[in-house]
Structure 1
Amino acid sequence: MPRATTVAVAYDCLFPYSTGGGERQYRAFADELGRAGLDVDYLTAVQWDGPTPAEDRFRIVPVTGRLSLYSPDGVRRIPAALRYAAGLLGALVRRRKQYAAVIVSGLPIFNVFAARLALLGSGTRIVVDYLEVWHRRQWVEYSGLVTGTIAWVLQRAAIALTPLATCHSQLSATRLRREGLRRPPLVSPGLIDGAADVSSPSPAATPPYVLYVGRHIPDKRVEVLPAAVAVARESIPDLRLVVLGTGPSSDAVRAEVRRVGGENWTDFPGFVSDAELDTLLHGALALANPSRREGYGLVVVEANAHGTPVVLVADEGNAATELIDAGVNGVVSPSTRPTDLARAFRDIADGGETLRRSARAWYDAALTTRTIRRTVEGIAAALQLPVPSPVKTKEDSP
């Protein structure tokens, strides 16, 4: 493998062996780099049983064993982050002359120090991809005063050490500069993988339902949805709530359902298959994501692919709102108050099929400008990688 065309992507998780926005994004990075003809290693932790799986466009390289990533309350565990960083350090030291470039996730932040130390003087170019950038108050709220302050200081140090940064929103770009980045970051055009193959938009299912998809953790604020749907039912009497996923906040969500008397109109399917998820997305009146923070907002894109409008909540840490064109593909609620969210649901119901068609049209237009492929092309150009001719695999065949 010639060094000039061999690259690595470093993240402690890999889709579909674990799920989440970061997992899907970095897998897509590896896929697109491999599709372009580069040799790609994906440096990750073990998340599967048995032998290391084989992939068409990249090699999976385990750098540490299976990790317990989250505490019971949904916070990233420092020991797991340190174990992965130590494994990444060792793997990159052993391969320090092998890679032309390494794309490393800036979360957890220890990854940045591991990559910089391992590759010092090797000639390997490093790009740090920042899914999110937090200010000090966010770190303290997430991890407590002492741990949060230390994490914020480490983040600032890592940003100062970053030779080339990429991010996926203007919010993150602004925060990177405020936190000490020495040169402007590369802001990606988008993270759409273009893989959605769904039929044309159709009317919302009967009875209509609001859908939530994701983990149940404090930052996602899933527990605000039952009261909001209860208020919206005053004007949409048959409206239901469907809550996918589970997590540390699940008990709080169920308690809210009981408090507002929503047992008869709320469903908790848990985790569902991809086919079931597509069906639920396609039929939802709206997909609601009341999260206080998002680094990009892939959920907006996925829902709009089905013609389903999205309801988000305005918050200083929520970059997903950058994807919403009001009245075109969704609504941004000013707060999580039940009346505000209920008004957003009613606005979407009033928009009817016209709004569903415009949401899908937003997605179709974004397919030409906001894709993972465009983002990876920008990273490759910034790294001055000599990209060979694209390699076709069976997945590329018509």
Structure 2
Amino acid sequence: MNISFVSNVVYPFVTGGAEKRIHEIGTRLAAEGHDVTVYGRHFWDGPEVITHEGMTLRAVASGTELYADERRSITEAIDFSTRLLPHLRRNADDHDVIIASLFPYFPVLASRLTTLGTDTPLITTWHEVWLDYWDDYLGHLAPFGKAIERLTAKTPHYPIAVSSVTADRLTEIGPSRDRIEVVPNGIDVAQIESTEPADDGFTVLYAGRLIEDKNADLLLEAFDRVAHTAPNATLGIIGDGPEHDRLEQQAQTLEHADRVTMLGFLEEYDDVLAHMRAADVFVSPSTREGFGITFAEAMAADCTVIAAEHPESAASEVIDDAGFLASPTVDDVADVLERALSGERPNTEPTTRAQRYDWDSVAEQAEQCYRRAIDGNW
């Protein structure tokens, strides 16, 4: 197959979940002999077109700032999409399939324009469907975000969702459920298993953005309530975000504040994995997860995972019975955490569950979807 990916940011020159997914799937398909091209911004050194790990990287626009006031820049997205059009249009017939990175939506619309009059199918990958979350993200501009999300969902294409929760939310604004394929995000199981545990690790660990929906404040309070039952237990909080200062102040007021450490953002991914490998329990009471990659990573690290049960979170789908679910309240998180600290383990070994999210398996599932789109058997 001749496969093209469209993403304004390209891994590893810019790091993030969506671009890493493209990299992991793309490099594996290239290793199998497929021609893989990634259209993106010029964030790498050297010429505009290079070969990187078997893939062709083609810059259609220069590198630029992606955020404005801590939000993805609409101007950047429109600029990239405009510059993408002539490049992709010239080559659309040469590609058997085009996979456009969903957010920030405009590149999907531009990619669709380039496929008009061709037989080249367009696939998108939906990591999240925001719906009413636009109200929190854009405030008075939320109707604009909702309209673009809805327009993208209704644009003719083949949708892939990273979880059934995301697929179900997508049906509220676009295609019917039977038109949506589910291909999860992935992890490198071998890399996680071979990572040496951190010498200064913690008994209980959280890793993720420090935003309101992640509910790290519930974990702090829950840990403080049960710390007396596990006198040697410690809690580490990895991450940064708008809630950092408030959470740090909360941590300082806890009865067991001396056993809580705010580590901030860790630059090296291996350092995060090392802390997961050292931890006994991983807790993230997040109520909004389109997938929840940290749950898969923590299971591969053989942590007992505790997540929140919530209709807007795919946590229950990701961990199934290889972890524990709690309602997003201090009482319930504390109860489940106390059981985990006492040694209770889930029915299925976490490492066994994690295998289904290995990138090799994910790439194989994605390849099958690409072939079905090309053959018209979606």
TM class, shorter-length = 0.7 to 0.9
1:31 matched to 2:27 = yes
Which blocks of at least 5 consecutive residues in structure 2 are unaligned?
Answer: none
1:249 matched to 2:254 = no
Identity of aligned residues (%): 24
> Cα offset for 1:182?
5.6
Residues 92 and 115, structure 2, Cα contact 8 Å, conserved in 1: yes
The one-letter amino acid paired with 1:82 is I
Which of 184, 203, 208 aligns to 1:209? It is 203
1:344 matched to 2:339 = no
The equivalences for 1:13-32 within 5 A come to 13-32=9-28
1:46 matched to 2:45 = no
> Cα offset for 1:358?
1.4
The one-letter amino acid paired with 2:94 is Q
The one-letter amino acid paired with 1:241 is L
> Cα offset for 1:254?
1.4
In 2, distance between residues paired with 1:107 and 1:362? 29
> Cα offset for 1:262?
5.5
- Tell me the TM-score normalised to structure 2 length: 0.87
In 1, distance between residues paired with 2:281 and 2:214? 17
* Residue correspondences, number: 374
Q: Which has the higher contact order (CA 8 A, sep 6+)?
A: 1
The one-letter amino acid paired with 1:60 is L
In 2, distance between residues paired with 1:341 and 1:158? 37
Residues 127 and 290, structure 2, Cα contact 8 Å, conserved in 1: yes
In 2, distance between residues paired with 1:313 and 1:70? 30
The one-letter amino acid paired with 1:334 is S
1:214-269 deviation per Cα after TM superposition (whole angstroms, max 9, x unaligned) = 23333333343322221221322332221223233322221221232565222233
The equivalences for 1:269-284 within 5 A come to 269=263, 270-284=265-279
1:131 matched to 2:131 = no
Residues 232 and 239, structure 1, Cα contact 8 Å, conserved in 2: no
The one-letter amino acid paired with 2:213 is D
Which blocks of at least 5 consecutive residues in structure 1 are unaligned?
Answer: 386-398
Which of 342, 350, 367 aligns to 1:359? It is 350
1:260-294 deviation per Cα after TM superposition (whole angstroms, max 9, x unaligned) = 25652222333143433332111112222232322
What corresponds to 1:55 in structure 2? 52
Determine helix, strand or coil for the equivalent of 2:371.
helix
Residues 206 and 237, structure 2, Cα contact 8 Å, conserved in 1: yes
RMSD: 3.1
Which of 279, 301, 321 aligns to 1:306? It is 301
Determine helix, strand or coil for the equivalent of 1:310.
strand
What corresponds to 2:314 in structure 1? 319
Residues 175 and 155 of structure 1: CA distance in aligned 2, closer, same or farther (over 3 Å)? same
The one-letter amino acid paired with 1:380 is Y
Determine helix, strand or coil for the equivalent of 1:317.
coil
Which of 326, 339, 354 aligns to 1:333? It is 326
Residues 43 and 63, structure 1, Cα contact 8 Å, conserved in 2: yes
In 1, distance between residues paired with 2:199 and 2:349? 18
Residues 36 and 162 of structure 1: CA distance in aligned 2, closer, same or farther (over 3 Å)? farther
Which of 4, 7, 15 aligns to 2:3? It is 7
- Tell me the TM-score normalised to structure 1 length: 0.83
> Cα offset for 1:31?
1.7
The one-letter amino acid paired with 1:342 is A
> Cα offset for 1:40?
0.9
